[in-house]
């Protein structure tokens, strides 16, 4: 690339090869948000590089190549417009100055900013404005500098050119540590270093066979550990990519839903409540905009934003720049539009990012407990191994042999890979959840999912389809109209007494449609909704009547946005063709709220005073529509908010999602209570809850107002019997959660709005809606439902229980093998037997224990019956009494069986390779059968299917093939000190070692019979107190 310098500022132009292709020096890995820069030599200059990790620019050694004569000359700008005070220096240029290079002479001002060259031989450099200077300039001047159109946005071809120069809107991160360094780091393990010492000592003592054997074993063990760690890192890395940030951007005159990383300087971005600002924006439209900048400035109070230029004298710090929305901040209130002035590292957040140091993610409670278990087992193992080495030395055994055996035993017996495999199992389980449309952001939630016994769910979009359609209209003068058709399109009719109503045929109906259409932010384009479903239903109603163009007839002067607290939205408009006439207010919202602002009602075009009789009639109609399961909206219009004319009601249907009723029934039967929290009326909420099986004769429903009148303790006493919370706002959710947690419940809470964030954080499992949820909501949540479907919550709970069971299976297998190996060598030493296993054989067992067979247990398919199991206690240890018994039983069988084979082969009192081969193979076969029985803690291997886990089948098959190679392949026979066995020997060993599986299956059968007896005796008394609903 060529770099032109203007004073202390550098402007970089990409260099191209004669073929027209860009020359790029190296690639960068990226994370989150940054602009890329490339560096390269000028045509006649040798290549140089700047500081490590970032290519440095090159000085202009010769005059720039003249432009083709057929093209217009570069457009010049006055020098003040390109002042160095607001153009960001290229970071690579700063690196050049540090290296002591002389600065190039400044070019003419017009060279710093070129017009687009059509033939692609050069590219425009669009300068990046600092937020300080952009806040001082008028919006039009900012747009002029960035060569952007505020209303229509950039053209797609222009976006590509700018991205080619500025790069993606993401941050550069340092290159990963090379794989060879990660591999070498595995040798820093103290146990591996001790084995290396053993190999060195063997060489010094001219025991070259032992040295080679130990070295080969070290390489195998280190490789297995490296692969495990690499898989763990990659799995966690994939998790960080599951929720890419998105935004709404105007390009070529149309609003597009795009990834935030695609933004370039000059783009126009639309912001609304709950959005995370995707880049530094200079605002040019703002309605009641308030932004939370705590992530950038530390200020907890939201900052109000405006569009007016900021005087330079009051523009010192970030908090004073009220017309700038900074990258990474959150929109708490209102909506706005802004032009991108800085992306990636050229944003204010980018400056902070450069100073940030990566923090290691905290370990989950399960990982911590595994670490503690590993440390405790390590202490016990080291103590036992020390005794073994001491006793062996006192018995006259060779000290080097005992040292090597001790270290090898330590490698095999100490479960140092336990936390890593747990992490991999959790991460892989989370990736499986993604296929079920659930994104788990935090690994600890996988553990919590199996403990959840209460789910507090929104109604709209979660329990229902969120496909809003107006089906009924009630006018303020008593007319009832039915609406046909479904979906966001114009297919359907409005029928009144058998007559089709279209346009302005019926003034009472058309006024309702007019209010619902004008007081609306939704847009339907190509039968696709952009906006809220409720508003989309009103637009679709207008389309059916041919009145959808009515939005364009009004100019909005003011807006009162909808909020969950006030439950209404209003706009103040003036007719585009009659702007000299007074402004008109339109309002829509919950009937109880809208009617408070009404003083009159519309009666066939006349405005009459609103008396108590009319109010009672409207209340009855609203109750009747709600009881039918309709969502009821009231509409009004008038000159002022306090002087509105009531127009009527519309009934909107939102049918329950398919399969939700079955999911609710399954969860309730398994001990999970379901609570519906909705802003709808009592009639609508109870009707939907009854249809889904959430509400029965013994259930209760309370309103948000009633919740306000109760303290936490009082609410805790009644929440077990409450199935529906209606007319509830997000602030009520927090109180509901606290009351349930006071009763010992583990609560999952769903949410989609900005105000839900606090409740989601307070819940044990915060669940955000993937389609309708705001960025704030998604950030606060622990899990995101991609499809907003309640069934996905059940699938996630099922998967969470399955993952926890798989971890228990793996722990059982690894601990039983570790204990068996340690006990076997200990007993043989104390009984003054020769060592039944040599160092290489012990290390091979360790590979099997930590390798594919063990890891395959972590991906065992989820048992479909696991969802029927009651939630476990969050405080329960993974090592339950039942699991410890199974571990000890397996260990005892393995030790006794292996010692029996060793004793049987030693009858001639002479130890031979055959003796150790039989003992070694016996232990390995025991391991395989032990892994088979560990696949489930309750079900028989025949119930779950021998081949249901293909990875397990491949792992066991591979281990057996490896063992056969160790026995029959001559080079490996020398390494492991083995000899060939006969078919009868193998059959004898298979028969003996299968005993561990047979005994375990008998224990499982006994436990299943006992469980059935207990269920029969306590089928009616075992229901959770949370299931009184």
Q: Is the pLDDT of residue 115 over 70?
A: no
- Counting every residue, how long is the chain? 1029
Q: Is the pLDDT of residue 61 over 80?
A: no
Instruction: Using the Cα atoms of residue 885, residue 891, residue 897 and residue 900 in order, give the sign of their dihedral.
Output: negative
Q: Which of 239-253, 541-555, 875-889 has the lowest mean pLDDT?
A: 239-253
CB half-sphere exposure, 101, CA atoms < 13 A? 22
Highest mean pLDDT among 22-31, 199-208, 867-876 belongs to: 867-876
pLDDT at 226: 77
Instruction: Choose among 859, 674, 685: nearest CA to 235.
Output: 859
Q: Is the pLDDT of residue 511 over 90?
A: yes
Local confidence band at 114 (pLDDT 50, 70, 90 cut-offs): very low
C-alpha span between 672 and 872 (Å, rounded) = 11
**Top-confidence residue, 659 or 892:** 892
Report the predicted TM-score, pTM, of the whole model to 2 decimal places: 0.64
Strands 644-653 and 598-603: parallel
Tokens of residue 405, six digits: 């055996």
Residue 411 vs residues 391, 566, 851, 958: alpha-carbon distances, Å: 20, 65, 13, 22
- Convert the pLDDT of each residue in 756-770 to its tens digit: 777 888 888 989 888
Quote the mean pLDDT of the chain: 77
**Top-confidence residue, 874 or 440:** 440
Instruction: Using the Cα atoms of residue 478, residue 484, residue 486 and residue 489 in order, give the sign of their dihedral.
Output: negative
pLDDT at 117: 33
CB half-sphere exposure, 100, CA atoms < 13 A? 0
Q: Which of 286-295, 333-342, 403-412, 800-809 has the lowest mean pLDDT?
A: 403-412
Helices (H) and strands (E) in the chain, counts: 34, 32
**Mean pLDDT of all residues in 367-374:** 66
**Top-confidence residue, 6 or 586:** 586
Instruction: Choose among 165, 377, 381, 391: nearest CA to 266.
Output: 165
- Give the phi and the psi of residue 932 in degrees, each rounded to 5: -60, -45
Hey, is 853 helix, strand or coil?
Answer: helix
Q: Which of 1-15, 632-646, 934-948 has the lowest mean pLDDT?
A: 1-15
Q: Is the pLDDT of residue 161 over 70?
A: yes
Tokens of residue 7, six digits: 């004073």
pLDDT at 415: 60
C-alpha span between 924 and 772 (Å, rounded) = 54
Residue 832 vs residues 388, 393, 825, 918: alpha-carbon distances, Å: 11, 11, 10, 19
Residues carrying an active site annotation: 458
C-alpha span between 367 and 784 (Å, rounded) = 23
Q: Is the pLDDT of residue 247 over 80?
A: yes
Three-state secondary structure readout of 299-330: CCCCEECCCCCCCHHHCCCHHHCCCEECCCCE
Place of tokens 């009319």: 614
pLDDT at 63: 39
Helix (H) or strand (E) holding 710: none
Tokens of residue 1018, six digits: 């306590």
**Mean pLDDT of all residues in 436-445:** 80
The alpha carbon of residue 266 and the mean position of all alpha carbons in its chain are separated, in whole angstroms, by: 30
Q: Is the pLDDT of residue 121 over 90?
A: no
Which residues 6+ apart lie within 8 Å of 916 measured at CB?
A: 836, 837, 838, 841, 977, 978
Q: Which of 45-59, 196-210, 977-991, 1000-1014 has the lowest mean pLDDT?
A: 45-59
**Top-confidence residue, 205 or 826:** 826
pLDDT at 300: 59
**Top-confidence residue, 1028 or 175:** 175
Q: Is 695 exposed, middle or buried (0-12, 13-18, 19+ CB in 10 A)?
A: buried
Q: Which of 6-20, 115-129, 554-568, 906-920 has the lowest mean pLDDT?
A: 6-20
Local confidence band at 220 (pLDDT 50, 70, 90 cut-offs): low
User: Is residue 776 a contact partner of residue 429, using CB atoms and an 8 Å limit?
Assistant: no
Q: Is the pLDDT of residue 240 over 60?
A: no
- Convert the pLDDT of each residue in 266-306 to its tens digit: 999 999 877 889 999 999 999 888 888 876 765 656 788 98
Tell me 377's DSSP state: H
Instruction: Choose among 488, 554, 475: nearest CA to 519.
Output: 554
Instruction: Choose among 699, 656, 737, 707: nearest CA to 459.
Output: 656
Q: Is the pLDDT of residue 797 over 60?
A: yes
Residue 186 vs residues 193, 463, 602, 848: alpha-carbon distances, Å: 10, 50, 80, 18
Q: Which of 132-136, 257-261, 344-348, 874-878 has the lowest mean pLDDT?
A: 874-878
pLDDT at 612: 92
Which residues 6+ apart lie within 8 Å of 156 measured at CB?
A: 251, 252
pLDDT at 66: 41
**Top-confidence residue, 318 or 261:** 261
Tokens of residue 749, six digits: 């809470």
Instruction: Choose among 387, 396, 404, 389: nearest CA to 205.
Output: 404
C-alpha span between 463 and 695 (Å, rounded) = 14
Highest mean pLDDT among 244-248, 396-400, 707-711 belongs to: 707-711
- Convert the pLDDT of each residue in 936-967 to its tens digit: 888 888 888 888 889 899 989 999 999 999 99
Q: Is the pLDDT of residue 504 over 80?
A: yes
pLDDT at 428: 75
**Mean pLDDT of all residues in 16-37:** 37
C-alpha span between 464 and 948 (Å, rounded) = 35
Instruction: Choose among 954, 955, 962, 956: nearest CA to 997.
Output: 956
Tokens of residue 957, six digits: 């098959």
Tokens of residue 351, six digits: 């400056």
Local confidence band at 241 (pLDDT 50, 70, 90 cut-offs): low
Hey, is 552 helix, strand or coil?
Answer: helix
C-alpha span between 679 and 996 (Å, rounded) = 58
pLDDT at 590: 93
Q: Is the pLDDT of residue 29 over 60?
A: no
Percent of the chain residues topping a pLDDT of 70: 74
Residue 992 vs residues 827, 885, 947, 960, 982: alpha-carbon distances, Å: 20, 21, 23, 16, 16
C-alpha span between 494 and 497 (Å, rounded) = 10
Q: Is the pLDDT of residue 531 over 50?
A: yes
Tokens of residue 987, six digits: 């059959």
Helix (H) or strand (E) holding 194: helix 190-204
């Amino acid at each position: 690339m060529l770099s032109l310098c203007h004073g202390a500022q550098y402007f970089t132009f990409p260099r191209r090869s004669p073929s027209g292709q860009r020359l790029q020096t190296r690639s960068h890995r990226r994370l989150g948000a940054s602009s890329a820069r490339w560096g390269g030599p000028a045509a006649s200059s040798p290549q140089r590089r700047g500081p490590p990790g970032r290519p440095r620019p090159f000085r202009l050694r010769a005059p720039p190549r003249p432009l083709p004569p057929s093209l217009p000359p570069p457009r010049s700008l006055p020098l003040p417009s390109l002042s160095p005070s607001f153009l960001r220096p290229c970071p690579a240029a700063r690196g050049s100055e540090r290296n002591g290079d002389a600065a190039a002479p400044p070019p003419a001002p017009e060279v710093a900013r070129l017009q687009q060259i059509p033939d692609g031989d050069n590219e425009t450099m669009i300068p990046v404005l600092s937020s300080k200077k952009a806040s001082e300039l008028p919006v039009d001047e900012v747009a002029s500098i960035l060569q952007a159109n505020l209303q229509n946005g950039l053209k797609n071809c222009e976006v590509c050119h700018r991205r080619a120069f500025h790069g993606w809107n993401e941050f550069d991160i340092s290159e990963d540590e090379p794989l060879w360094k990660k591999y070498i780091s595995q040798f820093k393990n103290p146990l591996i270093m001790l084995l290396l010492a053993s190999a060195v000592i063997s060489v010094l003592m001219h025991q070259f066979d032992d040295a080679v054997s130990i070295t080969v074993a070290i390489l195998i063990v280190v490789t297995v550990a490296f692969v495990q760690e690499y898989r763990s890192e990659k799995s966690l890395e994939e998790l960080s990519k599951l929720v890419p940030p998105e935004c709404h951007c105007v390009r070529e005159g149309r609003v597009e839903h795009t990834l935030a990383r695609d933004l370039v300087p000059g783009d126009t971005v639309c912001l609304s409540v709950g959005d995370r600002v995707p880049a530094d924006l200079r605002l040019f439209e703002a309605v009641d905009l308030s932004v939370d900048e705590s992530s950038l400035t530390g200020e907890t109070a939201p900052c109000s934003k405006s569009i007016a230029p900021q005087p330079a004298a009051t523009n010192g710090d970030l908090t004073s720049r009220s017309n700038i929305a900074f990258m990474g901040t959150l929109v708490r209130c209102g909506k706005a539009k802004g032009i991108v002035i800085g992306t990636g590292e050229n944003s204010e957040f980018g400056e902070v990012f450069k100073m940030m140091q990566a923090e290691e993610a905290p370990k989950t409670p399960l990982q911590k407990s595994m670490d503690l278990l590993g440390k405790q087992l390590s202490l016990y193992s080291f103590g036992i191994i020390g005794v073994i080495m001491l006793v062996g030395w006192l018995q006259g055994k060779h000290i080097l042999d005992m040292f090597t055996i001790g270290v090898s035993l330590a490698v095999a017996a100490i479960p140092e890979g336990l936390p890593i495999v747990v992490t991999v199992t959790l991460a892989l389980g989370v990736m499986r959840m993604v296929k079920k449309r659930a994104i788990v952001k935090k690994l600890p939630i996988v553990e919590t999912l199996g403990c959840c016994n209460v789910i507090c769910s929104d109604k709209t979009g979660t329990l229902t389809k969120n496909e809003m359609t107006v089906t009924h209209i009630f006018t303020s003068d008593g007319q009832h109209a039915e609406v046909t058709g479904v979906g966001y399109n114009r297919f359907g009719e409005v029928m009144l007494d058998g007559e089709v109503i279209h346009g302005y045929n019926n003034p009472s109906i058309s006024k309702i449609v007019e209010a619902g259409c004008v007081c609306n932010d939704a847009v339907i384009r190509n039968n696709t909704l952009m906006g809220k479903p409720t508003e989309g239903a009103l637009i679709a109603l207008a389309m059916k009547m041919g009145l959808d163009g009515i939005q364009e007839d009004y100019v909005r002067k003011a807006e009162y946005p909808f909020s969950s607290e006030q439950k209404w939205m209003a706009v103040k408009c003036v007719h585009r063709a009659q702007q000299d006439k007074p402004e008109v207010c339109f309002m829509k919202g919950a009937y109880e709220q809208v009617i408070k602002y009404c003083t009159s009602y519309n009666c066939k075009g006349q405005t009459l005073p609103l008396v108590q009789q009319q109010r009672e009639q409207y209340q009855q109609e609203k109750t009747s529509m709600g009881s039918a399961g309709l969502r009821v909206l009231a509409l009004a219009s008038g000159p002022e908010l306090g002087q509105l004319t009531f127009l009527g009601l519309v009934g909107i249907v939102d049918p329950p999602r398919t399969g939700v009723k079955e999911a609710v029934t399954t969860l309730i039967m398994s001990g999970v209570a379901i609570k519906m929290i909705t802003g709808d009326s009592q009639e609508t909420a109870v009707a939907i809850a009854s249809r889904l099986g959430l509400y029965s004769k013994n259930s209760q429903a309370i309103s948000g107002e009633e919740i306000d009148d109760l303290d936490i303790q009082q609410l805790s006493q009644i929440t077990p019997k409450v199935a529906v919370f209606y007319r509830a706002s997000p602030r009520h959710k927090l109180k509901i959660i606290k009351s349930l947690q006071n009763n010992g419940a583990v609560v999952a809470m769903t949410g989609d709005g900005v105000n839900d964030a606090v409740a989601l954080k307070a819940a044990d499992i915060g669940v955000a809606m993937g389609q309708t949820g705001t960025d704030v909501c998604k950030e606060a949540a622990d899990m995101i439902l991609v499809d907003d479907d309640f069934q996905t919550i059940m699938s996630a709970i099922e998967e969470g229980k399955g993952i926890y069971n798989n971890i228990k299976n793996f722990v059982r297998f690894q601990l039983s093998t570790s204990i068996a190996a340690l006990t076997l060598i200990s007993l043989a030493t104390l009984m003054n037997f020769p060592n039944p296993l040599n160092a290489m054989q012990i290390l091979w067992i360790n590979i099997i224990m930590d390798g594919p067979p063990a890891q395959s247990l972590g991906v065992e398919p989820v048992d479909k019956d696991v969802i029927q199991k009651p939630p476990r206690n969050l405080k329960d240890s993974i090592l339950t009494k039942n699991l410890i018994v199974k571990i000890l039983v397996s260990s005892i069988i393995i030790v006794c069986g292996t010692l029996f084979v060793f004793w049987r082969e030693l009858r001639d009192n002479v130890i031979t390779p055959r003796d150790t081969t039989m003992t070694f193979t016996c232990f390995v076969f025991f391991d395989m059968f032990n892994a088979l029985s560990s696949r489930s803690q309750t079900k028989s291997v025949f119930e779950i299917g021998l081949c249901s886990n293909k990875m397990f089948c491949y792992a066991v098959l591979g281990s057996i093939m490896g063992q056969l190679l160790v026995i029959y392949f001559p080079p490996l026979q020398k390494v492991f000190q083995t000899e060939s066995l006969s078919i009868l020997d193998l059959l004898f060993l298979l028969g003996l070692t299968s005993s561990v599986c047979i005994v375990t299956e008998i224990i499982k059968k006994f436990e299943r019979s006992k469980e059935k007896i207990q269920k029969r005796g306590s089928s009616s008394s075992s229901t959770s107190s949370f299931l009184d609903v």
